[in-house]
Amino acid sequence: LPLLTIRDRAGRIGTFINVCRHRGMRLVQAEGQTCLRSLVCPYHQWTYGLDGALRHIPRRESFGEIDSATRGLIALPTEVRNGLIWVQARPDTAQPEPGGQQSPLPLDRHLAGVDADFDAFALADYHFFRQHVRTVACNWKLIQDAFLDGYHVTRLHKNTVGPFFPDALATSDRLGDHIRSAVARNEIAEAIGRPAAGLDLRHHATFAYTLFPNAILIFHPDYTSIISLFPLSPDQTVFAHSMLTPRPPASDQERDHFERSFRLIDQGVFQAEDIFVSEGAQRGMRSGANSVLLFGSLEGSAVQFHQVIERELAREAS
C-alpha cells in the first residue's frame, strides 16, 4: 500500500494513501523525505493540500457537479506515540474525506507492556538520522526469525558484532503479542553484584523488541534501529531500516561516528549477514528438502512469534 505521511504547517501529522482520487495515479513520486507546499498529480495536475483536501481541478466544468469534499485523499488512522508515527495501513480503516471521523488506533491495548519500556529508553527524545529501504528475496517471517534468537549471534556475526557478545547468553519474554529480548554484551560481567538502579542497561545488554506483526526495535548502546517489514509476495519483502540517534550530531566527528555505525549495522550486519541467511533459507524452503524446520531451546522466541501468527490466522479464518 503506497503511503504518504505528512506534517502540515500546523505541525499535525496525517497519513494518506498516495493515490490521486481522479484516475488512480501515484501522487508523490519521490521516496523518503521531501518538502512540498501542495500535492500535485503529474497526470492531470489535480492538486491537494497538505491536509489531503482536494484544492484544484483543472477544467473543473468538465466534471459536472463534482463535490471536492468527497474527493480528498484517503486518510488512514494515525497517531504519534513514543516519538514514532503509528499507522493502521489497511484500506478498510480509511476515511475518504479529509477531517472525517476515524476510530482511534487501539495503541493502549496494542502496546500494553512495551509502552513503559519505551518511556524508560526515552525513545520519544530520539532523532531520525538515516534510512535505507531495500527489497529482499524472502518471506517476511524468515527475517523475523533471524532477529528472534541469540543462538546465531557469535556464529553468523563472528566477523562483525559477534565479538561484543558472549555465546548464547540471552533471555526473552512475551509482552502481549510482542516479544522482548535481551542479549548480554561482554560488559555484563561488570554488572555482577551492582545495584540495578545504577546500571546503564544498554552498556551491558542489547535489547530488541519484536512488535507484532511487522516491526523490530533494537536498542544499541548509543543509537536505535527500527526495522519495518512489508510483504510484497510470499518471497519478496520490503525491508526498511531507520537509525535514530539520541541527539542530532553536534559536530562533524559525531556525524562521522553515526555514519560509520549505520554502514556497519545496515550493510555489514543486516544486509551481508541477516538478510543473506534469510534469502538463503527462502531458497532452501523452495527446494522441498525439509518438510518441517527444527527449533532448539535457544530459539524459543521464534516459536512464540509463529504461535501468535497462527492464532491470528485462525481468527481471520473463523
The three cell numbers locating residue 72: 480528498
Query: Which residue, 67, 85, 105, sits at the end of a domain?
Result: 105
Indicate if 125 and 43 belong to the same structural domain: no
Determine the residue type at 255: R
Indicate if 172 and 279 belong to the same structural domain: yes
Indicate if 290 and 164 belong to the same structural domain: yes
Residue 11: inside a domain, yes or no? Answer: yes
pTM as predicted: 0.89
Q: What is the pLDDT of residue 105?
A: 83
Q: The domain that contains 187 carries what CATH number?
A: 3.90.380.10
Indicate if 65 and 133 belong to the same structural domain: no
Indicate if 150 and 231 belong to the same structural domain: yes
Indicate if 162 and 61 belong to the same structural domain: no
Q: The domain that contains 41 carries what CATH number?
A: 2.102.10.10
Q: What is the pLDDT of residue 123?
A: 96
Q: What is the pLDDT of residue 94?
A: 62
Q: What is the pLDDT of residue 97?
A: 54
Q: Which domain holds residue 38?
A: 3-105
Indicate if 94 and 133 belong to the same structural domain: no
Query: Which residue, 85, 105, 125, sits at the end of a domain?
Result: 105
Query: Which residue, 64, 86, 105, sits at the end of a domain?
Result: 105
The residue among 60, 96, 110, 72 whose CA lies nearest residue 212 is 110
Indicate if 194 and 275 belong to the same structural domain: yes
Under DSSP, the state recorded for 280 is: H
Residue 68: inside a domain, yes or no? Answer: yes
Q: Yes or no: say if 162 and 154 are a contact pair by the CB < 8 Å rule.
A: yes
Residue 285: inside a domain, yes or no? Answer: yes
Indicate if 11 and 59 belong to the same structural domain: yes
Indicate if 208 and 166 belong to the same structural domain: yes
Give average pLDDT by consecutive 10-residue segment, the chain, 318 residues: 90 95 94 89 97 96 95 94 89 58 77 92 96 97 95 96 95 94 95 88 96 96 97 97 97 98 98 98 96 92 95 92
Between CA 194 and CA 190 the distance in angstroms is 8
Distance set, CA 93 to CA 22, 131, 212, 309 (Å): 21, 27, 18, 21
Indicate if 92 and 131 belong to the same structural domain: no
Number of structural domains (the chain) is: 2
Indicate if 233 and 120 belong to the same structural domain: yes
Type and span of the H or E element at 260:
helix 252-263
Q: What is the pLDDT of residue 197?
A: 84
